[in-house]
Amino acid sequence: MTASSRPVRVRIAPSPTGDPHVGTAYIALFNYVFAKQQGGKFILRIEDTDQSRARADSEQMIFDALRWVGLSWDEGPDVGGPFGPYRQSERKAIYAAHAQQLIDRGKAYRCFCTGERLAAVRAAKLAAKDSFLGYDRHCRAVERAESDARAAAGEAHVVRLIVPDGQVVVRDRLRGEVTFDLAQIDDQVLLKSDGMPTYHLANVVDDHLMEITHVIRAEEWISSTPKHVLLYQAFGWDEPAWHHMPLLRNNDKSKISKRKNPVSINYYRDAGILPHALLNFLGLMGWSFGDDREKFTLPEMVEAFTWDRISLGGPVFALDKLTWLNEKYIHELSNDELADALIAWRLRKDYLAQLVPLVRQRIKRLDDFVPATTYFFAGDLDYADVAAELGIPEVAPADVAKGLLGYVDRIEAREGWDHAGLEAEARAWCEALGWKAKHAFMLLRLVVTGRKASPPLFETMAVLGKELTRRRLRQAAELIGKRA
């Protein structure tokens, strides 16, 4: 049976390395819609083969965020299914066995080169202005017996794919036939020296074993697709049908990134975007309904979906239209539903309970509470009233802006979001910059709260949450940067 005649099975395969990304929701949407329309299955698989980048809380945030927007999966790490496990770190033995199979078939080989040698080869090629910077295939020459012996002796190695000469044609449903010259392609590492597979191996093995029929992923993957095709061929398996969706973009058309856009699904949630509005908006990115409809539900999209209506120009993820759609969705709610939505958003007791200890000493009457806590409920702040104070004495605005972004980088690199950590980071940060804590903290306070007086700064940030805090810091940095 060819891949296209089997029951439809698609997957979203996020890597748990940080915040749940809008790009993940975007690609998940198209996978989901296609699966539902075809009466197929939508699978969630966690690609956690990079032990150094995996974050403990990230996987759960991905589950929560995807469910929040309204996309649920038929099989996955948390719901199980007949093709598990669905977490790649739990499938290590499977990949090792498949890598071995490739070695035995003469399709792959062990490479004992050190990182230093690889770097030296690369540097030499760079110096010689060689257009191909890949591995020089040095270890292809190692005899099988020697290779086995060295591996048995415990010598560190990776397993590489033998990329043959010739060309590979990728048949992409959205782009037609795309031809790649294999001379451009590196002998790809399949198994890392820690025994974990790379994306390429794990992805192909899992997609095959999980009987994935249609690979729907972002365009950034298209140039590694020939490697995947080669792997299917090496194993003697049928390829899935390839679909490379356009990439979501920043305003400047570059691939969407957290430096230039709020990219975490949690940001949109915290900023008061309704999940259906977000999903609807994502459906407008690269796809159109067919009539002039722009507001539609998930089931409507499932019914109307066709690949023929995908447009390949990378859509700029611009918030204006999302906000407009969100407004439409809000107006459509009944008073009761809207009240519930507000409660679910931030007017929850558990959220208020976090605010109370911060402001209780600062209010004289209950009616002081709301005016005292507005910035805990706002999205973006208006700095007009404090603009004059937004800075550091003796420091140029451009440097203040840069400094602020430096703090963002620090807090993003941290795993948790607690006030002690935020404070420790802030102290290290202003010391590194040579800024007085007194000045630096006032700057942060103004940015985060829009006021000169507030509850303890880092506790405020802790309660406000990562997304809103980070957004305000970036917005303020941009504002200050413009003055330079």
Partner RNA sequence: GGCCCCAUAGUCUAGCGGUCUAGGACGUCGCCCUCUCACGGCGAAAACAAGGGUUCAAGUCCCUUUGGGGUCACCA
Shortest distance, position 338 Cβ to RNA, whole Å: 14
59 contacts RNA (rule: CB under 7 A): no
Judged by CB under 7 A, the stretch of 173-181, 204-212, 396-404, 440-448 that binds RNA is 173-181
Binding to RNA (CB under 7 A): which residues in 19-58? 47, 49-50, 53
Helix (H) or strand (E) holding 10: strand 9-12
Judged by CB under 7 A, the stretch of 94-102, 114-122, 378-386, 455-463 that binds RNA is 114-122
439 contacts RNA (rule: CB under 7 A): no
What are φ and ψ of residue 46, in 5° steps? -95, 120
Judged by CB under 7 A, the stretch of 58-66, 73-81, 259-267, 278-286 that binds RNA is 278-286
Please pick, from the candidates 315, 391, 455, 465, the single residue that binds RNA as defined by CB under 7 A.
Answer: 315
Binding to RNA (CB under 7 A): which residues in 333-352? none
Instruction: Closer to RNA by CB, 246 or 275: give it.
Output: 246
Instruction: Closer to RNA by CB, 92 or 436: give it.
Output: 92
Beta strands in 95-240 (DSSP E): 108-111, 158-161, 167-172, 176-181, 189-191, 214-218
Q: Which of 351, 338, 363, 369 minimizes the C-alpha distance to 468?
A: 351
Please pick, from the candidates 31, 147, 198, 213, the single residue that binds RNA as defined by CB under 7 A.
Answer: 198
Contacts of 452 (CB under 8 A, 6+ apart): 386, 389, 442, 445, 446
User: What are residue 255's DSSP bridge partners?
Assistant: 249
Please pick, from the candidates 105, 171, 253, 452, the single residue that binds RNA as defined by CB under 7 A.
Answer: 253
Size of the site for RNA (CB under 7 A): 71
180 contacts RNA (rule: CB under 7 A): yes
Please pick, from the candidates 249, 445, 470, 471, the single residue that binds RNA as defined by CB under 7 A.
Answer: 249
How far apart CA 343 and CA 260 sit, in angstroms, is 30
Binding to RNA (CB under 7 A): which residues in 140-159? 156, 158
Looking at the annotation, which residues are catalytic?
Answer: 258
Instruction: Closer to RNA by CB, 100 or 254: give it.
Output: 254
Judged by CB under 7 A, the stretch of 78-86, 97-105, 133-141, 143-151 that binds RNA is 133-141
Judged by CB under 7 A, the stretch of 36-44, 126-134, 145-153, 416-424 that binds RNA is 126-134
- Beta 9-12 vs 41-44: how paired, if at all? parallel
How far apart CA 430 and CA 371 sit, in angstroms, is 31
Give whole-number Cα distances, 368 to 360, 362, 374, 401, in Å: 10, 8, 11, 33
Shortest distance, position 468 Cβ to RNA, whole Å: 22
Instruction: Closer to RNA by CB, 46 or 392: give it.
Output: 46
15 contacts RNA (rule: CB under 7 A): yes
Contact 372, 455 (CB under 8 A): no
Please pick, from the candidates 140, 171, 259, 309, the single residue that binds RNA as defined by CB under 7 A.
Answer: 309
Q: What would the DSSP string read from start to end of 249-262?
A: B-TTSSBP-TTTS-
Shortest distance, position 452 Cβ to RNA, whole Å: 28
Binding to RNA (CB under 7 A): which residues in 281-300? 284-288, 292, 294
Give whole-number Cα distances, 390 to 120, 292, 294, 401, in Å: 48, 45, 40, 10
Judged by CB under 7 A, the stretch of 60-68, 234-242, 322-330, 409-417 that binds RNA is 322-330
162 contacts RNA (rule: CB under 7 A): no
Instruction: Closer to RNA by CB, 88 or 449: give it.
Output: 88
Binding to RNA (CB under 7 A): which residues in 222-241? 222-224
How far apart CA 98 and CA 207 sit, in angstroms, is 13
Tokens standing for 436?
């007085």
Contacts of 192 (CB under 8 A, 6+ apart): 49, 158, 198
221 contacts RNA (rule: CB under 7 A): yes
Max Cα–Cα distance, the chain, nearest Å: 83
171 contacts RNA (rule: CB under 7 A): no
Q: CA 158, 159, 162 angle in degrees (round to 5)? A: 140
- Residue 288 identity: S
Q: Which of 469, 448, 458 minimizes the C-alpha distance to 425?
A: 458
